[in-house]
Amino acid sequence: MSKQLPKLTVGLLFGGRSAEHDVSRASAANVLRALDPAKYDVVLIGLSKDGRWLLCDAGNKTAAGAVVLAIPEDGAPLALVPGGKGQLLRFAESGQKAAVPRIDVMFPVLHGPNGEDGTVQGALELADVPYVGSSVMGSAAAMDKDIAKRLARDAGLPVVPFATVTAQAPLDYAAAARAVGSADVFVKPANLGSSVGISRARSAEEFAQSCALAFRFDRKIIVERRIDRAREIECSVLEDEKGDVRASPPGEIVPADRHGFYSYEAKYTDSKGASLVIPADVSPEQKARFQELAIETFQVLGCGGLARVDFFLEGEEIFVNEVNTLPGFTSISMYPKLWEAAGLSQSDLIDTLIAHALARHAGQQRPVER
């Protein structure tokens, strides 16, 4: 009879300070359901909108049908101990400290700034605790669409013509249109996901409104040429504990006509806002090319563990759009659904991601020089 391995304690981080707070909570609920209770104990850590780390009620675990996980405003504040190898301290109202189960591996289910951009990853590095997903550099590079597109372009990957706008380096509509080669453009925050703050502009008036919207969410924004009749294709990328990287077959997002593009509303608030076509209806040659480009983009940006690579398909031409290093994990999200279609269950997917995190951390351990 084989000896049962001791259970690992997983810290599930969710919420956060970005505009994708609610999406994160929905994703984390799905990850929680996929964590095998025979293998893992889970400590739920909610990041409030004002940046506090709060210990969440274990009652969340029993809400199998919950859409999102709750973050109580009066939850016990937590502190991650630098160099503590997963040690957390819990602070009571009296100011006394109490121990929390030591975390063996952190699973940050965080989307957007202050979570997906290398900030939390840096804190976890300082705490010397394994964590799921890309490192500080990979997270930061992929999060910033300006930096990611420059790296991809310099590596010879096909990207949509774009221009970068800041308060210090503004562009008017005419200059932006010349820069990207079209009077029909999309304007988006450089450091955000889930289609938050994105809008289309076809005139100087619309452009000014689009820039004002995007600047509400970021100090740097991106202007891109609109791809006419673009098909939105996505590939899931997964790295295992041996460092082998593979890409799923591609899937396609087909937004409802009333949305015009894959907006936040089409993704999360309109149950019929878009349909997922899995696998995408593309030729065998295109399928192989999408998978090849997904892996190459993942490696160029220095990603690790997982990512979803998004593409535009215009006729026969493929463009790399963006990379999400902590893609949505909701019950309707493309990342887990693509792997399910490829024969990998969500529980096995979670096991692979945790195994990669532990193996990477073990490989980073080096004797301290004296």
pLDDT tens-place string over residues 225-263: 998 888 999 999 999 999 999 999 999 999 765 545 554
Average pLDDT over residues 169-173: 93
**Was domain 8-131 assigned CATH 3.10.690.10?**
no
pLDDT tens-place string over residues 186-213: 999 988 765 778 999 999 999 999 999 9
pLDDT of 356 > 70? The answer is: yes
**Residue that wins the pLDDT comparison between 234 and 331:** 234
- Please state whether the predicted TM-score (pTM) of the whole model is above 0.85: yes
Between helices 173-180 and 204-215, what is the axis angle to 10°?
A: 90
**142-158+228-362 with 162-225: one CATH topology?**
no
CATH of domain 142-158+228-362: 3.30.470.20
- Mean pLDDT over the full length of the chain: 89
**Residue that wins the pLDDT comparison between 64 and 182:** 182
For residue 335, name the pLDDT band (cuts at 50, 70, 90).
very high
**Residue that wins the pLDDT comparison between 77 and 98:** 77
pLDDT tens-place string over residues 26-60: 999 999 999 999 999 999 999 999 999 999 876 67
The ranges assigned to domains in the chain are: 8-131, 142-158+228-362, 162-225
Instruction: Assess contact for 326 and 116: CB atoms under 8 A.
Output: yes
pLDDT tens-place string over residues 63-89: 555 567 989 888 889 999 999 999 998
CATH of domain 162-225: 3.30.1490.20
Predicted local confidence at residue 185, as pLDDT: 96
Query: Under DSSP, is residue 211 helix (H, G, I), strand (E, B) or coil?
Result: helix
**Residue that wins the pLDDT comparison between 171 and 364:** 171
Instruction: Assess contact for 117 and 143: CB atoms under 8 A.
Output: yes
> Would you put residue 248 in left (φ > 0), alpha (ψ -120 to 50) or beta?
beta
Q: Which of 195, 11, 145 is nearest to 86 (CA)?
A: 11
